[in-house]
């Protein structure tokens, strides 16, 4: 009984994703919104997964994420008889080039996040993903002609002041937060610019990076320092499933990016850093430094202003 509502919700999200091309605009927007909540809800729980692999070299975890996610997506695409679409997409120079760029950006983001979580920087990474939605709003204005009212500009400015204040106290810029926020915001903008069907886009992205990941893992295997197999069955299984754990929320994310505005995405994104922040403080016992508290004050103040003024801005 307890699981039925959640299974019904998950099936609704998946159905709306599959039927998106045939659905009405309202249905597509609903599907995109539900997909966004699904993606960011899963990402908010990610620290629990990556901490189980904290004894494995972060670059190896990243390589396993890339390789197994690519294989998982390839199997899904093959099961739908859509292999030919990969060849057609590869012949499109511009589209393939943008996908290669998005593969580089998101791979860097994944690696930085794994390192941050397993280095005791969950709260710092959460700050990055609080900043990220405000960057998405700015990118929506700059590249997609989305309107930004005065309150939105005030919110972005306040968040910026928080980061500047944190840098002044810290003595340096909170670079982990900034890099995580910037790379994922640009990744979202690239996905929206392409507007590709989620599974196809993610498959090609991961396949572009997969050969490099496989080469690195092979070298580690020959060197005798690999986490796969040598660290036991449970670790090997966790590394393989990292591909599925990576691909599923990204499929949801791509669907959301294709069907709803970056400003709505910006609102939904707060689900993920809130989950990470709570896990960092309540589960892993992290405590934010004074500099991070200043940054959080500015960013959370911006979030409150942005959310509180959305109804007024839409009138």
Condensed to tens digits (0 to 9), the pLDDT of residues 183-217 reads 988 888 888 778 788 788 889 999 999 999 999 99
The set of long-range contacts for 172-178, using a CB threshold of 8 Å and a minimum separation of 24, is 174/124, 174/127, 174/291, 174/292, 174/295, 176/112, 176/116, 176/121, 176/124, 176/125, 176/128, 177/124, 177/125, 177/127, 177/128, 177/131, 177/295, 178/128, 178/131
Instruction: Write down the residue that tokens 């507007």 correspond to.
Output: 195
In the predicted structure, residue 258 carries a pLDDT above the cut 50 = yes
- Percentage with pLDDT > 90 across the chain: 26
Give the pTM. 0.77
Which DSSP symbol is given to 54? T
As a whole number of angstroms, the distance between CA 22 and CA 181 comes to 34
Give pLDDT, residue 9.
46
Segment among 47-61, 68-82, 285-299 with least mean pLDDT: 285-299
In the predicted structure, residue 69 carries a pLDDT above the cut 50 = yes
Number of helices (H) and strands (E), helices first, in the chain? 15, 0
Which pair of tokens denotes residue 248?
């599923």
Segment among 81-90, 278-287, 290-299 with least mean pLDDT: 290-299
214-250 exposure pattern, b = at least 16 Cβ within 10 A, e = fewer: eebbeebeeeeebbbeebeeebbebbbebbebbbebb
Which pair of tokens denotes residue 249?
């929320």
Average pLDDT over residues 64-77: 92
In the predicted structure, residue 133 carries a pLDDT above the cut 70 = yes
In the predicted structure, residue 18 carries a pLDDT above the cut 50 = no
In the predicted structure, residue 22 carries a pLDDT above the cut 60 = no
Give the pLDDT confidence of 134-192 residue by residue, as tens digits: 787 778 777 777 777 788 778 878 877 887 777 777 666 778 888 999 998 888 888 87
Segment among 60-69, 138-147, 189-198, 219-228 with least mean pLDDT: 138-147
As a whole number of angstroms, the distance between CA 273 and CA 44 comes to 6
Nearest to 281 by CA among 259, 296, 269, 261: 296
Please, which pLDDT band fits residue 237 given cuts at 50, 70 and 90? Answer: very high
Nearest to 136 by CA among 266, 303, 267: 266
Which residues touch 271 (CB under 8 Å, ≥6 apart)? 37, 40, 41, 44
* 3-state SS class at 1: coil
Average pLDDT over residues 240-251: 90
Give pLDDT, residue 15.
46
């Amino acid at each position: 009984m307890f699981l039925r509502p959640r299974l019904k919700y998950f099936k609704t999200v998946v159905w709306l994703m599959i039927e998106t091309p045939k659905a009405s605009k309202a249905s597509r927007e609903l599907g995109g919104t539900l997909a966004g909540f699904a993606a960011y809800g899963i990402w908010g729980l990610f620290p629990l997964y990556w901490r189980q692999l904290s004894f494995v070299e972060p670059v190896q975890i990243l390589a396993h994420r890339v390789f197994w996610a690519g294989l998982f997506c390839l199997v899904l695409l093959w099961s739908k008889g859509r292999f030919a679409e990969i060849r057609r997409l590869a012949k499109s120079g511009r589209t393939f080039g943008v996908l290669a760029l998005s593969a580089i950006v998101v791979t860097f983001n994944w690696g930085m996040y794994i390192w941050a979580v397993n280095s005791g920087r969950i709260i710092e990474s959460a700050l990055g993903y609080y900043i990220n939605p405000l960057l998405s709003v700015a990118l929506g204005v700059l590249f997609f002609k989305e309107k930004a009212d005065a309150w939105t500009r005030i919110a972005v400015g306040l968040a910026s002041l928080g980061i500047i204040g944190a840098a002044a106290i810290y003595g340096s810029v909170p670079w982990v937060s900034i890099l995580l926020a910037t790379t994922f915001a640009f990744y979202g903008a690239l996905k929206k610019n392409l507007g590709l069907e989620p599974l196809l886009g993610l498959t090609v992205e991961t396949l572009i990076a997969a050969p490099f990941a496989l080469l690195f893992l092979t070298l580690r295997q020959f060197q005798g320092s690999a986490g796969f197999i040598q660290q036991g069955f449970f670790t090997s299984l966790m590394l393989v499933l990292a591909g599925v754990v990576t691909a599923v929320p990204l499929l949801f994310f791509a669907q959301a990016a294709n069907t709803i505005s970056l400003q709505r995405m910006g609102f939904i994104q707060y689900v993920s850093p809130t989950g990470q922040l709570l896990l960092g403080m309540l589960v892993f016992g992290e405590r934010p430094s004074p500099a991070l508290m200043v940054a959080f004050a500015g960013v959370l103040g911006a979030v409150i202003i942005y959310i509180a003024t959305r109804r007024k801005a839409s009138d």
